[in-house]
Amino acid sequence: MNKIPGARAVHHLAYTVPDLDQAVDFFTEVIGAELAYRLGPVEDTEGTWMTEKLGVHRDASAQIAMLRLGPTTNLELFAYTAPDQDRTQPRNSDWGGHHFALYVDDVDVAAAYLREQPGVTILGEPETIVDGPIAGDRWVYFTTPWGLNMELINMPAGMPFESTTETRLFHPEGAWN
Protein backbone atom coordinates (compact mmCIF):
# COMPACT_ATOMS: atom_id res chain seq x y z
CA MET A 1 0.00 0.00 0.00
CA ASN A 2 1.36 3.42 -0.96
CA LYS A 3 1.04 6.37 1.36
CA ILE A 4 2.58 9.75 1.97
CA PRO A 5 5.88 9.11 3.78
CA GLY A 6 5.53 9.96 7.46
CA ALA A 7 1.73 10.52 7.32
CA ARG A 8 0.23 9.75 10.74
CA ALA A 9 -3.16 11.38 11.17
CA VAL A 10 -5.45 14.23 10.24
CA HIS A 11 -4.09 17.33 11.98
CA HIS A 12 -7.12 19.58 11.54
CA LEU A 13 -10.34 20.22 9.67
CA ALA A 14 -10.87 23.70 8.24
CA TYR A 15 -14.05 25.53 7.31
CA THR A 16 -14.68 28.98 5.92
CA VAL A 17 -17.36 30.85 7.83
CA PRO A 18 -19.09 34.17 7.15
CA ASP A 19 -18.45 35.65 10.63
CA LEU A 20 -15.44 34.45 12.63
CA ASP A 21 -16.64 35.88 15.96
CA GLN A 22 -20.01 34.14 15.58
CA ALA A 23 -18.38 30.82 14.65
CA VAL A 24 -15.82 30.95 17.49
CA ASP A 25 -18.59 31.79 19.96
CA PHE A 26 -20.76 28.93 18.67
CA PHE A 27 -17.99 26.35 18.82
CA THR A 28 -16.74 27.44 22.25
CA GLU A 29 -20.04 28.33 23.96
CA VAL A 30 -22.43 25.79 22.39
CA ILE A 31 -20.23 22.87 21.28
CA GLY A 32 -17.56 23.14 24.00
CA ALA A 33 -14.39 23.68 21.94
CA GLU A 34 -11.42 25.61 23.31
CA LEU A 35 -9.90 28.53 21.42
CA ALA A 36 -6.17 27.99 20.89
CA TYR A 37 -5.38 31.15 18.91
CA ARG A 38 -6.57 33.75 16.42
CA LEU A 39 -4.51 35.45 13.75
CA GLY A 40 -4.88 37.82 10.88
CA PRO A 41 -5.37 39.51 8.71
CA VAL A 42 -3.55 37.07 6.43
CA GLU A 43 -3.13 38.87 3.12
CA ASP A 44 -0.64 40.03 0.50
CA THR A 45 -1.58 43.36 -1.03
CA GLU A 46 1.54 43.54 -3.19
CA GLY A 47 1.95 40.08 -4.71
CA THR A 48 0.35 36.74 -5.48
CA TRP A 49 1.07 34.84 -2.26
CA MET A 50 -2.65 34.30 -1.49
CA THR A 51 -3.19 32.70 -4.91
CA GLU A 52 0.02 30.69 -4.94
CA LYS A 53 -0.25 29.37 -1.39
CA LEU A 54 -3.99 29.22 -0.65
CA GLY A 55 -5.61 29.09 -4.09
CA VAL A 56 -7.76 32.19 -3.50
CA HIS A 57 -7.99 35.58 -5.21
CA ARG A 58 -4.75 37.58 -4.91
CA ASP A 59 -6.62 40.34 -3.05
CA ALA A 60 -8.27 38.00 -0.55
CA SER A 61 -7.82 38.58 3.16
CA ALA A 62 -8.47 36.09 5.97
CA GLN A 63 -8.95 36.09 9.70
CA ILE A 64 -8.22 32.69 11.25
CA ALA A 65 -9.01 30.90 14.51
CA MET A 66 -7.76 27.47 15.65
CA LEU A 67 -9.82 25.54 18.17
CA ARG A 68 -9.44 22.27 20.01
CA LEU A 69 -12.55 20.13 19.78
CA GLY A 70 -12.48 17.15 22.11
CA PRO A 71 -9.47 14.89 22.57
CA THR A 72 -8.61 14.33 18.91
CA THR A 73 -9.75 17.19 16.69
CA ASN A 74 -8.28 20.56 15.81
CA LEU A 75 -10.72 22.85 13.98
CA GLU A 76 -9.48 25.80 11.93
CA LEU A 77 -11.96 28.50 10.99
CA PHE A 78 -11.36 31.05 8.21
CA ALA A 79 -13.33 34.21 7.54
CA TYR A 80 -12.32 35.51 4.11
CA THR A 81 -13.08 38.62 2.17
CA ALA A 82 -12.31 38.34 -1.54
CA PRO A 83 -13.46 40.12 -4.69
CA ASP A 84 -14.63 36.87 -6.29
CA GLN A 85 -16.08 35.23 -3.18
CA ASP A 86 -18.99 32.81 -3.65
CA ARG A 87 -21.19 33.18 -0.58
CA THR A 88 -23.53 30.27 -1.24
CA GLN A 89 -23.39 27.33 1.14
CA PRO A 90 -22.91 24.01 -0.73
CA ARG A 91 -25.45 21.31 0.01
CA ASN A 92 -24.15 17.90 1.05
CA SER A 93 -24.86 16.66 -2.50
CA ASP A 94 -22.85 19.46 -4.17
CA TRP A 95 -19.21 19.09 -5.13
CA GLY A 96 -17.36 20.49 -2.16
CA GLY A 97 -20.34 19.72 0.04
CA HIS A 98 -19.35 18.72 3.54
CA HIS A 99 -20.34 18.06 7.10
CA PHE A 100 -18.62 16.79 10.18
CA ALA A 101 -19.97 14.61 12.90
CA LEU A 102 -19.69 15.02 16.66
CA TYR A 103 -19.65 11.77 18.60
CA VAL A 104 -22.05 12.09 21.55
CA ASP A 105 -23.05 9.71 24.31
CA ASP A 106 -26.78 10.21 23.65
CA VAL A 107 -27.99 11.65 20.32
CA ASP A 108 -31.46 12.44 21.68
CA VAL A 109 -30.13 14.42 24.66
CA ALA A 110 -27.64 16.31 22.45
CA ALA A 111 -30.35 17.09 19.86
CA ALA A 112 -32.67 18.39 22.59
CA TYR A 113 -29.88 20.69 23.82
CA LEU A 114 -29.20 21.97 20.30
CA ARG A 115 -32.91 22.64 19.70
CA GLU A 116 -32.65 25.24 22.48
CA GLN A 117 -29.72 27.06 20.82
CA PRO A 118 -30.55 30.16 18.76
CA GLY A 119 -30.22 29.65 15.01
CA VAL A 120 -29.56 25.89 15.16
CA THR A 121 -31.82 23.73 13.00
CA ILE A 122 -32.19 20.00 13.65
CA LEU A 123 -32.95 18.19 10.37
CA GLY A 124 -35.69 15.77 11.30
CA GLU A 125 -35.64 13.42 14.25
CA PRO A 126 -32.73 11.22 15.37
CA GLU A 127 -32.88 7.74 13.91
CA THR A 128 -31.14 4.43 14.38
CA ILE A 129 -29.78 2.34 11.49
CA VAL A 130 -31.32 -1.11 11.88
CA ASP A 131 -29.63 -3.13 9.10
CA GLY A 132 -26.29 -3.38 7.37
CA PRO A 133 -22.69 -2.70 8.32
CA ILE A 134 -23.51 0.16 10.71
CA ALA A 135 -26.64 -1.23 12.38
CA GLY A 136 -26.94 0.39 15.79
CA ASP A 137 -25.62 3.78 14.60
CA ARG A 138 -27.87 6.57 15.93
CA TRP A 139 -27.61 9.94 14.22
CA VAL A 140 -29.21 13.23 13.19
CA TYR A 141 -27.98 16.17 11.07
CA PHE A 142 -28.18 19.80 12.15
CA THR A 143 -27.10 23.17 10.82
CA THR A 144 -25.30 25.95 12.65
CA PRO A 145 -26.69 29.51 12.68
CA TRP A 146 -24.70 30.27 9.48
CA GLY A 147 -25.67 27.02 7.72
CA LEU A 148 -22.70 24.67 8.29
CA ASN A 149 -23.86 21.06 8.07
CA MET A 150 -23.04 18.97 11.14
CA GLU A 151 -24.11 15.62 12.54
CA LEU A 152 -24.58 14.09 15.96
CA ILE A 153 -23.63 10.41 16.02
CA ASN A 154 -23.35 7.53 18.42
CA MET A 155 -21.94 4.22 17.24
CA PRO A 156 -21.84 1.54 19.91
CA ALA A 157 -18.81 -0.73 20.15
CA GLY A 158 -18.98 -3.94 18.14
CA MET A 159 -20.52 -2.60 14.94
CA PRO A 160 -21.46 -5.30 12.37
CA PHE A 161 -18.82 -4.16 9.82
CA GLU A 162 -16.09 -5.06 12.34
CA SER A 163 -16.72 -8.76 11.66
CA THR A 164 -15.66 -8.30 8.02
CA THR A 165 -12.47 -6.24 8.38
CA GLU A 166 -9.50 -5.58 10.64
CA THR A 167 -10.07 -1.82 10.20
CA ARG A 168 -11.54 -0.08 13.21
CA LEU A 169 -12.98 3.42 13.30
CA PHE A 170 -12.10 5.90 16.01
CA HIS A 171 -14.34 5.50 19.05
CA PRO A 172 -13.92 8.00 21.91
CA GLU A 173 -15.16 5.68 24.67
CA GLY A 174 -16.01 8.59 26.97
CA ALA A 175 -12.71 10.43 26.41
CA TRP A 176 -14.31 13.86 25.89
CA ASN A 177 -15.80 15.35 29.02
What does the pLDDT look like over 70-82, one tens digit per residue? 888 999 999 999 9
Last residue of a domain, one of 16, 48, 82: 82
Indicate if 78 and 105 belong to the same structural domain.
Answer: no
163: left (phi over 0), alpha (psi -120 to 50) or beta: alpha
Residue 92 belongs to a domain? no
**CA proximity to 142, closest of 164, 126, 160:** 126
Are both 1 and 75 inside the same structural domain? yes
Q: What is the CATH number of the domain that holds 42?
A: 3.10.180.10
Judge if 9 and 55 occupy the same domain. Answer: yes
Residues 37 and 112 grouped into a single domain:
no
Domain holding 20, by residue range, is 1-82
pLDDT tens profile 131-157: 999 999 999 999 999 999 999 999 988
> What CA–CA distance (Å, rounded) separates 155 from 177?
17
Examine the domain organization and report whether 125 and 59 are in the same domain: no
* Preceding peptide of 83 cis, ω within 30°: no
Residues 6+ apart with CB under 8 A from 117: 30
Question: Does 48 reside within a domain?
Answer: yes
- Report whether pLDDT(110) > 60: yes
In a shared domain, residues 12 and 72:
yes
Per the domain annotation, does 93 fall within a domain? Answer: no
Percentage of the chain modeled with pLDDT above 70: 97
DSSP 3-state assignment of 66? strand
pLDDT reported for residue 175: 53
**What pLDDT is stored for residue 176 in this prediction?**
52
In this structure, are 105 and 72 located in the same domain? no
Q: Are residues 42 and 68 in the same domain?
A: yes
Last residue of one domain, picked from the residues 82, 108, 129: 82
Instruction: Determine, yes or no, domain membership for 152.
Output: yes
pLDDT per residue as tens digits for the range 63-72: 999 999 988 8
Instruction: Name 53's Cβ contacts closer than 8 Å, sequence gap at least 6.
Output: none
| Residue type at 131 in one-letter notation | D
